[in-house]
Homo-oligomer: A and B are copies of this chain.
């Protein structure tokens, strides 16, 4: 049973959404994929027919075991290719997402496994997201986000949750990137913005929207992967 590139994109997006929400809605998925609700409905029917999805109309939906397995394989491919692009081809971590969106649809299972081995079985991609192994298991925890951090504790940026160019622009402007050491100095309850102190720099203010997407690891130094 074949899964097209478009279906893979839907599976992946559903997987991510249901991580947060449990059940996924048509509108949310349409927004995530930059497509229309009607198109999502069309696709849902196909995915249901292929028994990858639990879905009843007007009721929301989520992946079943098969669907999750398929989605995780796509995520695995995406993250391995990102790792390859950054570590082997010297791409910047902020420019690999788009290319990996294409590479993730190459179908050969053997290719993915060989690539994994070639890269030394990494467990974290260049944005800090965990890379599932060949059996779909994650070996790394998801990082905490800046907004749920105690004050005045120095941490290190270990991942960026969203990779829109707009987001990355803000981060670059504030000299925050993967590996940056920083601490949260103050929280403003009015808009949940944060005052953040980056080592050796004046403090800057970060909106809640941005903070939500900056993932950090407590303390231990950022290990450069070879």
Contact = CB atoms under 8 A, between A and B. Distances in A.
Interface string A98-116: 1100110011101100110
A89 to B, nearest CB: 4
A90 interface: yes
A175 interface: no
A118 B85 contact: no
A89 B111 contact: yes
Contact of A102 (B85, B98, B106): B106
A88 interface: yes
Contact of A114 (B91, B103, B110): B91
Contact of A111 (B85, B110, B118): B85
- How many copies the complex holds: the figure is 2
Contact of A90 (B88, B89, B91, B114): B114
Contacts of A103: 103, 106
A10 B16 CA distance: 37
Contact of A106 (B89, B91, B99, B107): B99
Nearest to A113: B89
Contact of A89 (B85, B98, B99, B118): B118
A142 B108 CA distance: 30
A98 to B, nearest CB: 8
Contacts of A88: 118
A110 B90 CA distance: 11
A155 B68 CA distance: 53
Interface string A65-88: 000000000000000000001001
Q: Which 10 A-B pairs have the closest CB atoms?
A: A89-B114, A99-B108, A102-B106, A89-B118, A99-B111, A88-B118, A103-B106, A89-B115, A90-B114, A102-B107
18 contacts: A85-B111, A88-B118, A89-B111, A89-B114, A89-B115, A89-B118, A90-B114, A91-B110, A91-B114, A98-B108, A99-B106, A99-B108, A99-B111, A102-B106, A102-B107, A102-B108, A103-B103, A103-B106
